[in-house]
Amino acid sequence: MSQDEPNDFATALHSHARDVEALLRELLSSRPRHGEIARPERLLAAMRHGVLGGGKRLRPFLVIESAALFDADREAARRVAAALECVHCYSLIHDDLPAMDDDDVRRGRPTVHKAFDEATAILAGDSLLTLAFDIIADPAPDSDAGRLPVDRRLELVTALARAAGAGGMAGGQLLDLEAARSRPDEAGIITLQAMKTGALIRFACEAGAMVAGAARPDRERLAEFGSAVGLAFQLADDLLDRTAHAAAMGKATGKDRAAGKATLVDLHGAEWTRRQLSGLVGQAHDLLSPYGGRGSMLRSAAAFVAQRRS
């Protein structure tokens, strides 16, 4: 990595986050879209609370930079990135509910059910999930920019649904809830994590290639890259959960251990985990080698995920 790259990466991360934030704000405006009847203000306020003004926007970054690797339409990538962020934030809203992880704080602010109430939080999550599919399927009629061919949009709907649903993220959350009781072995933990956090990160990277209409080998390479990044993300998270203070994370920490849920860090220790992280970054970089210098942002992203401190 050259001396300049870390700084470029930070700038790009911030810039993409701002672009996606602007689009999300627009998508969550009070004006009903064609086919909608009315948009209740309290529901929109809860959706905005859960989505706007927070987070590194890692998944959107991965969509946009994976798409850029293949010279895809930037506006189309931004839309898919916004849709994916809606799915990610819906999952956080529902995950924070008293019946699930019961968290009061997220990104240093009250969770949606604390700022509003439980029923509103449930409906805000439901509505964000629904909106995600709307965003991808919609032809973005105001301009030609961002208007993907119908077959690509449809493919993205299917891929997002499978990454997010019972066979992906939602299924992973269920396995995670069961983990305190079912005590999964190493293979079980890996599957759980590949579903709960891995599936959306993998989708983020593959989606960029899909937006671009890239060839199948490219799509598969980006999906594999996403799997490596997703696993690194989870290992770094588990490491942080063991060591970081709640203030640095902006959320409660150490809860998984308190709940008796084992992670790979518990099984193998911090040293092993750091070696794994380094190996995953190497693997991610290797997967990008066909793209030469064009892959530098994604290489930085993989390193960032593995090394993050919050």
Question: Where on the chain is the footprint of its own copies (CB under 8 A)?
Answer: 32-40, 42-44, 47, 90, 94, 97, 99-100, 117-120, 122-123, 125-127, 129-131, 133-134, 136-138, 150-151, 153-154, 157-159, 161-168, 170-175, 177-178, 191, 194-195, 199
Rg of the chain's alpha carbons, rounded to an integer? 19
- Judged by CB, which is closer to its own copies: 2, or 37? 37
- In whole angstroms, how close is the CB of 95 to its own copies at the nearest point? 9
Residues 6+ apart with CB under 8 A from 17: 55, 56, 57, 60, 61
- In whole angstroms, how close is the CB of 28 to its own copies at the nearest point? 9
- Judged by CB, which is closer to its own copies: 80, or 303? 80
- In whole angstroms, how close is the CB of 15 to its own copies at the nearest point? 28
- Judged by CB, which is closer to its own copies: 75, or 126? 126
Distance CA 213, CA 175 (A): 34
- Judged by CB, which is closer to its own copies: 49, or 153? 153
Quote the distance between the C-alpha of residue 262 and its chain's center: 23
- In whole angstroms, how close is the CB of 187 to its own copies at the nearest point? 11
- Judged by CB, which is closer to its own copies: 105, or 177? 177
- Judged by CB, which is closer to its own copies: 207, or 239? 207
- In whole angstroms, how close is the CB of 59 to its own copies at the nearest point? 17
- In whole angstroms, how close is the CB of 130 to its own copies at the nearest point? 4
Question: What Å distances lie between residue 212 and 42, 63, 83, 100, CA to CA?
Answer: 37, 11, 16, 37
- Judged by CB, which is closer to its own copies: 149, or 290? 149
Single-letter residue type at 19:
D
- In whole angstroms, how close is the CB of 226 to its own copies at the nearest point? 12
Distance CA 300, CA 303 (A): 5
- In whole angstroms, how close is the CB of 68 to its own copies at the nearest point? 24
- In whole angstroms, how close is the CB of 153 to its own copies at the nearest point? 6
Q: What does the block give as tokens for 215?
A: 């060839």
- Judged by CB, which is closer to its own copies: 56, or 162? 162
- Judged by CB, which is closer to its own copies: 156, or 305? 156
Q: What does the block give as tokens for 310?
A: 């919050």
